[in-house]
Amino acid sequence: MVVVYNVKSEAAYGSRIAAPIMSNILTDVLPYMGIASEKSDTSSVGSVSPKTSKVADVTNKTLTEAKKTLENLGFKVVSSDTPNSNSVLVKEQVPVKDTSILEGGTVVLYTEENNVRTSVEVPNLVRKNTW
């Protein structure tokens, strides 16, 4: 489920705001579940699997070294910007080491300087139709 709050646009429709976000999520998730997209060649489903790579363990490496390692493996890297990335250490990564993810997937790095995570409780929306 994708929920976007406080959209400041005259064209604030789900098809323009939330749908592209959900599409990006499903593009990464569905191949793991073995579900082919409508765009894929259905005759090859099951015979060709998406290219995946295992995430390297970059904890306790400098942020610069960790980014370089992961980018060389074909991953996108998300981390906080810090002026001293040559000395700050990575304390945690998501996904964790040895997890197989699609090439081009994203790895989030948490450093000793910025190890703050945000959790949001998702409300129970069962049987709460608004139409």
CATH number at residue 81: 3.30.10.20
Taking only the tens place, the pLDDT of each residue in 74-117 is 999 988 777 777 888 999 988 889 888 888 888 989 887 665 66
Residues 56 and 36 in one domain: no
> What's the predicted TM-score (pTM) here?
0.54
Q: Is there a domain that residue 100 lies in? A: yes
Q: Is 85 exposed, middle or buried (0-12, 13-18, 19+ CB in 10 A)?
A: middle
Task: Give the CA dihedral 65, 70, 76, 78, nearest 10 degrees.
Answer: -40
Residues 29 and 44 in one domain: yes
Q: Is there a domain that residue 86 lies in? A: yes
Q: Which domain holds residue 39?
A: 11-48
